[in-house]
């Protein structure tokens, strides 16, 4: 009898906890972003901004918002957008109201340090792999603190394909190692 009562109590606790978790999630403000999204124990370094460009509101606070799709000429004209369909443009990811945040398709505003959530909207498989350490680069300690890089540290978000590199020199062929016989002995 005691055992049954205990079991019922346990079930009640479990159900209670299960209900509380999503409620807590809902209770959070959408701007702050859900803390549960952050993979545990992973430190993300600051986003790779061009020097002096952030916060964006420094300049944008005095500028009128122009949501017209257009070729940028006065500023940011160095940005070449080569990412997905031709119809893509600034405000698919950037937020016209608050320039210091990015905007998800759902309308939720997120910090630049959480940009992986933005990328993960389309590249969900990569986000999944990144969270468990399969995609992307981890440095630090294999059994302790790890540092993760944001998507934007390796991929230019405006033109994400990797640029080709000059490889380091090839190995010396065995016949050429050490010069003539006795040379290095």
Partner 1 sequence: MSGPEKHDPSRRAFLGAAAGAAVGVALTGCTPVSREEFFQRHLHELTDAERDVMVKRLEKQYEEKFGKKVTVATDPPLEGVTFAYALDLSRCIGCRKCVYACVEENNQSRDPQIHWIRVLQMDKEKGVDVLKADPYYDSEEVPTPGHFYMPVQCQQCADPPCVKVCPVKATWKEKDGIVVVDYNWCIGCRYCMAACPYGARHFNWGEPNLPADELNPVTHLLGNRPRPKGVVEKCTFCIQRTRKGLYPACVEICPTGSRKFGNLLDPSSEVRQILENKRVFIFKEDLNTQPRFFYFYGV
Binding site for partner 1 (CB under 8 A): 129, 132-144, 149, 154, 162, 164-173, 177-178, 183-185
Q: Which is nearer to partner 1, 16 or 170 (CB)?
A: 170
Q: Which is nearer to partner 1, 22 or 171 (CB)?
A: 171
CA-CA distance, 150 to 154, in Å (whole number)?
8
Question: CA Rg, the chain, in Å?
Answer: 25
Angle at 160 between CA 158 and CA 163, to 5 degrees: 120
Rounded to a whole number of angstroms, the minimum distance from the CB of residue 92 to partner 1 is 24
Rounded to a whole number of angstroms, the minimum distance from the CB of residue 168 to partner 1 is 4
- How is residue 158 written in tokens? 């405006």
Rounded to a whole number of angstroms, the minimum distance from the CB of residue 136 to partner 1 is 5
Answer whether the bond into residue 55 is a cis peptide, omega within 30°: yes
- How is residue 74 written in tokens? 């006065």
CA distances from 174 to 167, 168, 184 (A): 20, 18, 14
Q: Which is nearer to partner 1, 70 or 163 (CB)?
A: 163
CA distances from 123 to 41, 58, 85, 119, 136 (A): 23, 31, 14, 6, 13
Rounded to a whole number of angstroms, the minimum distance from the CB of residue 177 to partner 1 is 5
Q: Which is nearer to partner 1, 27 or 165 (CB)?
A: 165
| DSSP 8-state secondary structure symbol assigned to residue 28 | S
Rounded to a whole number of angstroms, the minimum distance from the CB of residue 180 to partner 1 is 12
CA-CA distance, 144 to 141, in Å (whole number)?
5
Q: Which is nearer to partner 1, 88 or 137 (CB)?
A: 137
8 Å CB contact between 25 and 36: yes
């Amino acid at each position: 009898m005691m055992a049954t009562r205990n079991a019922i109590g346990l079930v009640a606790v479990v159900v209670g906890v299960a209900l509380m978790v999503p409620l807590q999630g809902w209770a959070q403000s959408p701007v702050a972003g859900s803390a549960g999204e952050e993979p545990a124990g992973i430190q993300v370094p600051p986003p790779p901004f061009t020097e002096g460009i952030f916060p964006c509101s420094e300049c944008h606070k005095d500028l009128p918002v122009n949501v017209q799709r257009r070729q940028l000429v006065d500023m940011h004209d160095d940005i070449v957008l080569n990412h997905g369909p031709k119809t893509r443009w600034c405000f698919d990811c950037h937020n016209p109201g608050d320039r210091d945040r990015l905007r998800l398709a759902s309308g939720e505003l997120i910090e630049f340090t959480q940009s992986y959530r933005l990328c993960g909207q389309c590249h969900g498989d990569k986000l999944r792999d990144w969270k468990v350490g399969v995609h992307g680069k981890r440095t630090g300690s294999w059994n302790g603190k790890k540092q993760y890089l944001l998507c934007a540290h390796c991929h230019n978000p405006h033109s994400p394909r990797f640029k080709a590199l000059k490889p380091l020199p090839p190995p010396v062929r065995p016949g050429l190692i050490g010069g003539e016989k006795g040379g290095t002995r």
